[in-house]
């Protein structure tokens, strides 16, 4: 009943959404409807993005994150422009047509430095999309990065509920600014991604419903979603990881509410279960983001403990995903993987 409502594009009552996320839901039915919805628009095609974690310096101290400024045990690194370009070239040869440059909030990267890097990458790969995932910046900065050629921007909103947001972050990081940045990013013209963790300490189903409402308001092109996983050098080291089951339900609900949304089956999911990314596809995800960072730096970009694939080459990882996807009737495509414009279908 509720599933039909979602499919019809009707925003349900908060209580209805909560009951859908609760454990007595018929998951099989929910996941099947979600994956059929993805199939309707994207067929059996899965998009890939090559993730390049180019700096683990961060000026922030988010309570959940392993690369927070206060983690003095962590050895910090920055990749050189040449190392980043090499990652892109390797990725290109493997069939990647989107590169995601991700880092902590590293003040070293001025607009000038970033714009020069963006131009270099776009010049060598004009047929590729470039995504930035480098945190909160000024509107002026976002504009400059867009003008330099960046196509997309990922900034997880982390928690739409303002009280919950404040329990996860130090005072200087505000939910208002986070949301303001996202609105600016979208207005400037980036394909925009927000997202949040499932199972952060203190999170309730009601908070998740607020995330779903926020996503409806923002209308992003992408939503990244994964379980919270504790990291031993953070304040939240003793909290349990988020539930895989709940992640899958949230993912499926998102798919039903936003049929053409780009939804990655995240690496954090596979930390909970080797097959969780495949389960994610079966619940409506349509993107996978393998790591293209040099293996030598992977262990230094641990946002959480037991992060997967820190020692496997992108090529190897890609073959593994490809084999698993084939078994369930999906295939990876060589494409920028832009969001489908529903008006054109």
Report the distance separating Cα 194 and Cα 219, nearest Å: 9
Q: Rule CB under 6 A: is residue 158 a binding residue for ligand 5AD?
A: yes
Token pair of 220, please? 């992003």
By CB under 6 A, name the one of 91, 104, 220, 226 that touches ligand 5AD: 226
Nearer to ligand 5AD, 36 or 299 (CB): 299
The CB-of-21 to ligand 5AD minimum distance in angstroms stands at 19
The CB-of-25 to ligand 5AD minimum distance in angstroms stands at 24
- What is the rounded radius of gyration, in angstroms, for the C-alpha atoms of the chain? 19
Q: Mention every residue, 6+ apart, whose C-beta is less than 8 A from residue 243.
A: 198, 199, 227
Q: Rule CB under 6 A: is residue 268 a binding residue for ligand 5AD?
A: yes
Question: What phi and psi, each to the nearest 5 degrees, are found at residue 263?
Answer: -125, 110
The CB-of-301 to ligand 5AD minimum distance in angstroms stands at 10
For tokens 């996320």, what's the residue? 21
For tokens 């892109």, what's the residue? 88
Q: Mention every residue, 6+ apart, whose C-beta is less than 8 A from residue 19.
A: 2, 25
By CB under 6 A, name the one of 34, 88, 303, 321 that touches ligand 5AD: 303
Nearer to ligand 5AD, 264 or 337 (CB): 264
Task: Say if residue 7 is exposed, middle or buried (CB neighbours under 10 Å; 0-12, 13-18, 19+).
Answer: middle
Q: Rule CB under 6 A: is residue 304 a binding residue for ligand 5AD?
A: yes
Q: Rule CB under 6 A: is residue 208 a binding residue for ligand 5AD?
A: no
By CB under 6 A, name the one of 49, 97, 137, 156 that touches ligand 5AD: 156
The CB-of-158 to ligand 5AD minimum distance in angstroms stands at 6
Report the distance separating Cα 24 and Cα 42, nearest Å: 30
Token pair of 275, please? 């097959």
Q: Which residues in 46-65 contact ligand 5AD (CB under 6 A)? A: 64-65
Task: Kindly write out the interface string for residues 227-256 of this chain, putting x where it contacts ligand 5AD by CB under 6 A and - elsewhere.
Answer: -xx-x-------------------------
Token pair of 236, please? 């939240």
Report the distance separating Cα 166 and Cα 161, nearest Å: 9
Q: Which has the closest alpha carbon to 141: 171, 158, 118? A: 118
Q: Rule CB under 6 A: is residue 92 a binding residue for ligand 5AD?
A: no
Q: Rule CB under 6 A: is residue 104 a binding residue for ligand 5AD?
A: no
Identify which range of 23-31, 105-113, 226-234, 291-299 contacts ligand 5AD by CB under 6 A. 226-234
Instruction: Tell me which residues touch ligand 5AD (CB under 6 A).
Output: 64-65, 156, 158, 197, 226, 228-229, 231, 268, 303-304
């Amino acid at each position: 009943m509720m599933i039909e409502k979602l499919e019809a594009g009707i925003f349900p009552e908060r209580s209805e959404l909560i009951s859908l996320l609760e454990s007595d839901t018929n998951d099989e039915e929910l996941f099947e409807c979600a994956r059929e919805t993805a199939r309707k628009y994207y067929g059996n095609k899965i998009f890939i993005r090559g993730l390049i974690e180019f700096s683990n310096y961060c000026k922030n101290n988010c309570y959940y994150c392993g690369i927070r400024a206060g983690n003095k045990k962590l050895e910090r690194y920055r990749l050189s422009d040449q190392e980043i370009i090499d990652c892109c070239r390797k990725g290109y040869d493997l069939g990647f047509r989107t590169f995601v440059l991700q880092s902590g909030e590293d003040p070293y990267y001025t607009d000038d430095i970033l714009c020069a890097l963006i131009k270099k990458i776009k010049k060598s790969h004009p047929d590729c999309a470039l995504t930035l995932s480098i945190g909160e910046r000024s509107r002026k900065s976002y504009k400059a990065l867009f003008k330099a050629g960046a196509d997309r921007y990922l900034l997880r909103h982390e928690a739409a509920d303002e009280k919950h947001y404040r329990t996860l972050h130090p005072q200087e990081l505000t939910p208002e600014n986070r949301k303001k940045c996202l609105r600016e990013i979208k207005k400037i013209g980036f394909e925009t991604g927000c997202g949040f963790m499932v199972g952060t300490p203190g999170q309730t189903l009601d908070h998740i419903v607020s995330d779903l409402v926020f996503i409806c308001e923002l209308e992003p092109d992408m939503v990244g979603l994964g379980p919270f996983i504790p990291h031993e050098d953070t304040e939240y080291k003793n909290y349990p990881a988020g539930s895989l089951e709940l992640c899958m339900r949230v993912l499926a609900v998102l798919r039903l509410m936003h049929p053409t949304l780009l939804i990655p089956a995240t690496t954090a999911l596979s930390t909970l279960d080797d097959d969780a990314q495949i389960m994610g596809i079966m619940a409506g995800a349509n993107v996978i983001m393998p790591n293209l960072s040099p293996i030598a730096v992977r262990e230094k970009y641990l946002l959480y403990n037991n992060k997967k694939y820190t020692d496997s080459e992108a090529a190897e990882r890609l073959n593994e995903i490809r084999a698993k996807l084939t078994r369930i009737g999906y295939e990876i495509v060589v494409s920028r993987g832009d969001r489908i414009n529903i008006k054109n279908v």
